[in-house]
């Protein structure tokens, strides 16, 4: 999980507190903000880290299969049930069950889940015996469940059960300075995955990436970096400026006429500095003296810059 913007740091601090509490969690955030990554971080930093983490895409579960997928079935429950089959709840026993796209559940499915959350007891299809589960529920939605409850498409009592702990992930447009850091990470990942040298981003790309609204968030950025990496044949990687970028209002930054030249310049320079220094430290394996020699500056000056941008040695 990469970022140093105030909005992202606050989310990480909240995540650490949530991970230490063994209670139901609701994660909300736009598409591409990394909700499953956060859910895994909560699990693997929590008390259940030694047990299973089981993800479930609620949007892919029709009503007819929901109970069978979650609670399993006994032999003879239906025509093709030739043996007992455990459900995802049983597979997650002692660990965490991640319910992604929880907002996609139908009203009937919401009732089924609500009954289970009340006391974590369930009955496999075709079984006469009720069972008790011990799982931590982590749910995620890219839509505001409270707003959905107002128009009646999501049960308010289920929302209360899920939102015992709550984490709201900031979109990338509110994480000023993080886009350049993420680009550095994705370039390294692309080099390992596809082969080829690690190249820096060119100056024009660095000048606009922190001002784009990024409707697809981190996932959109990753996709663009991979595309640019694969077609790059020069000394640096160039990502074409999105059409109509000046018309985008990224998180209150404003367009031409609303943002002063000096402010825009300062932000672009800060984004470049953070990216450049991070790459230098990576190439020097975290050695400040070696990084200073690499970029042609004094160790003390580099130390001040690292502190300014919050870059760890």
- For position 217, which CATH number holds? 1.10.8.60
- Interatomic CA distance for residues 122 and 282, integer angstroms: 50
* Pair (96, 138) in one structural domain: yes
* Pair (26, 138) in one structural domain: yes
225, 189 contact by CB (below 8 A): no
* Pair (27, 128) in one structural domain: yes
306, 313 contact by CB (below 8 A): yes
In a domain, 263, yes or no: yes
In a domain, 251, yes or no: yes
pLDDT confidence of residue 34: 94
In a domain, 111, yes or no: yes
- Interatomic CA distance for residues 117 and 173, integer angstroms: 35
4, 177 contact by CB (below 8 A): yes
pLDDT confidence of residue 253: 44
Average pLDDT over residues 81-110: 89
* Pair (33, 81) in one structural domain: yes
How many structural domains comprise the chain? 2
* Pair (161, 297) in one structural domain: no
- Interatomic CA distance for residues 219 and 222, integer angstroms: 5
Query: What phi-psi label fits residue 94: left (phi over 0), alpha (psi between -120 and 50 degrees) or beta?
Result: left
Boundaries of domain holding 19: 6-170
Q: How far is CA 223 from the centre of its chain?
A: 15
CB atoms under 10 Å from CB of 185, counted, come to 15
Q: How far is CA 303 from the centre of its chain?
A: 31
pLDDT confidence of residue 291: 87
- Interatomic CA distance for residues 179 and 200, integer angstroms: 14
9, 194 contact by CB (below 8 A): no
103, 97 contact by CB (below 8 A): no
DSSP designation for 242? P
Of 128, 146, 170, which one is at a domain's C-terminal end?
170
User: Does pLDDT of 246 surpass 60?
Assistant: no
* Pair (196, 290) in one structural domain: yes
pLDDT confidence of residue 179: 92
User: Does pLDDT of 138 surpass 90?
Assistant: yes
Average pLDDT over residues 158-183: 93
CA angle, corner 265, sides to 264 and 267, nearest 5? 65
* Pair (200, 299) in one structural domain: yes
* Pair (191, 97) in one structural domain: no
Of 139, 154, 170, which one is at a domain's C-terminal end?
170
* Pair (153, 288) in one structural domain: no
User: Does pLDDT of 14 surpass 70?
Assistant: yes
In a domain, 110, yes or no: yes
In a domain, 1, yes or no: no
- Interatomic CA distance for residues 70 and 109, integer angstroms: 11
3 state DSSP class of 223? helix
* Pair (153, 278) in one structural domain: no
pTM of the full predicted structure?
Answer: 0.76
Of 117, 146, 170, which one is at a domain's C-terminal end?
170
User: Does pLDDT of 255 surpass 50?
Assistant: no
User: Does pLDDT of 257 surpass 50?
Assistant: no
Average pLDDT over residues 212-217: 89
The pLDDT tens digits for 33-91 are 999 999 999 999 999 999 999 999 998 888 878 888 898 877 655 666 666 788 899 99
The β-bridge partners of 99 are 56, 139
DSSP designation for 128? S
- Interatomic CA distance for residues 70 and 122, integer angstroms: 9
Residue 211 or 269, more confident: 211
* Pair (143, 178) in one structural domain: no
CB atoms under 10 Å from CB of 243, counted, come to 7
In a domain, 83, yes or no: yes
Give the helix, strand, coil percentages of the chain, each rounded to 5: 50, 10, 40
């Amino acid at each position: 999980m990469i970022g140093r913007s105030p909005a992202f740091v606050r989310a990480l601090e909240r995540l650490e507190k949530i991970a230490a509490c063994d209670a139901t969690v609701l994660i909300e955030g736009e598409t591409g903000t990394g909700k499953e990554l956060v859910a895994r971080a909560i699990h693997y930093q929590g008390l259940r880290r030694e047990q299973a983490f089981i993800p479930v895409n609620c949007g892919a579960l029709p009503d007819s299969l929901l109970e069978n997928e979650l609670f399993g079935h006994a032999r003879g429950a239906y025509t093709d049930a030739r043996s007992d089959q455990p459900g995802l709840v049983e597979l997650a026993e002692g660990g965490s069950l991640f319910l992604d796209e929880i907002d996609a559940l139908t009203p009937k499915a919401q009732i089924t889940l609500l009954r289970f959350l009340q006391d974590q007891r369930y009955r496999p299809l075709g079984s006469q015996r009720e069972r008790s589960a011990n799982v931590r529920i982590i749910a995620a939605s890219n839509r505001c469940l409270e707003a959905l409850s107002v128009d009646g498409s999501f049960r308010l009592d289920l929302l209360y059960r899920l939102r015992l702990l709550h984490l709201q992930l900031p979109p990338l447009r509110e994480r000023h300075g993080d886009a350049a850091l993420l680009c550095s990470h994705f370039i390294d990942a692309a080099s390992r995955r596809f082969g080829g040298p690690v190249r820096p981003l060119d100056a024009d790309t660095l000048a606009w990436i922190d001002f784009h609204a990024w409707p697809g968030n981190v996932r959109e950025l990753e996709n663009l970096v991979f595309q640019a990496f694969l077609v790059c044949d020069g000394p640096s990687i160039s990502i074409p400026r999105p059409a109509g970028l000046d018309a985008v209002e990224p998180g209150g930054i404003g367009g031409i006429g609303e943002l002063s030249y000096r402010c825009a310049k300062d932000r672009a320079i800060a984004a470049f500095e953070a990216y450049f220094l991070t790459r230098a430290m990576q190439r020097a394996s975290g050695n400040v003296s070696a990084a200073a020699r690499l970029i042609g500056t004094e160790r003390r000056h580099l130390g001040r810059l690292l502190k300014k941008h919050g870059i760890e040695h």
